[in-house]
Amino acid sequence: MGATRLIATVVLSLLVFLSGSSATQKKKTQGLPRQPCNRMVFYFHDILYNGQNAENATSAIVGAPAWGNRTILAGQNHFGNMVVFDDPITWDNDLHSNHVGRAQGFYLYDRKDYFTAWLGFSAFFNSTQHRGTITFAGADPLNKTRDISVIGGTGDFFMARGIATLMTDAVEGEVYFRLRVDTKLFVLVTIDHPAFSLL
C-alpha cells in the first residue's frame, strides 16, 4: 500500500511540475513578436473590357449602378461598379514576361465621394518556384501604398497569414493597371506540413 501511494505521489508531482514548466514556457514565447517567415513580390496585370478589347481583356464589369453600364466605369469615382478579374501574374513588371500564375477575384468601388475600392482575390501559383494559392482581402483606398490582409493559403502556402503591401505600378486610362504586391507571410502555428519548410 505504501509503495502505491509513493508512486501516485511521484506521478502527481511530475505532472504538476510539467504543467508548470509548460505554462512558463508558453508565457516566455507569447510576448515575442512574430517574425516574417517569407517575403514575395509579384505583379498582376488587369486589362478591363471596354467593348472593343474582348480578345485581350482579363477583367469585366459585372455590376453597375443605375446610372452606369457594364462597359464603361461609372462616374462619381466608379461608385457601385464591381469588376471580376482573371489577371496574369509575373515576377517583374512586364506583362509579356513568363506568367507564373493568375490573380482571380473581384474589386468593387465602394465610395461615392472618394476614390476607393474593396479587393478580394486569390493568387494561384503554378511555377517551378511555388505551387499553391494565397488569398487576400481588404480595403484598397488607392493611396500610393496600402496594406491588405493575407487570410489563407494552400499548397506551398498552407494556412498562410500575413499582409500584402499594394502599390499601383502603372495605369493606362481606365483600361489597364499593374499592381505590385509585396507579400509578407507569418507562421501562426507549428504544423508538421511540408509547406512550412518554405515559409
| C-alpha span between 198 and 140 (Å, rounded) | 28
Which of 6-20, 44-58, 143-157 bottoms out in mean pLDDT, i.e. has the lowest?
A: 6-20
Which DSSP symbol is given to 33? P
Is residue 111 within 8 Å of 122, Cβ to Cβ? no
Kind plus residue range of the DSSP H or E element containing 143: none
Provide the whole-model pTM.
0.74
- pLDDT reported for residue 114: 86
Per the structure block, which three cell numbers stand in for 108? 468593387
Name the pLDDT band for 196 (thresholds 50, 70, 90).
very low
Nearest of 86, 97, 96 to residue 123 by alpha carbon = 86
- The better pLDDT of the pair 49, 17 is held by 49
**What whole-number percentage of the chain has pLDDT above 70?**
75
- The better pLDDT of the pair 149, 17 is held by 149
Statement: 36-197 belongs to CATH 3.40.50.620: no
CB atoms within 10 A of CB 85: 21
- The better pLDDT of the pair 151, 7 is held by 151
- pLDDT reported for residue 38: 82
Which of 19-28, 42-51, 104-113 bottoms out in mean pLDDT, i.e. has the lowest?
A: 19-28
Q: Is the pLDDT of residue 195 over 50?
A: no
- The better pLDDT of the pair 172, 35 is held by 172
Q: Is the pLDDT of residue 67 over 50?
A: yes
The domain limits of the chain are 1-32, 36-197
Three-class SS of residue 80? coil
Mean pLDDT of the region 111-134:
91
Terminal alpha carbon distance of the chain: 54
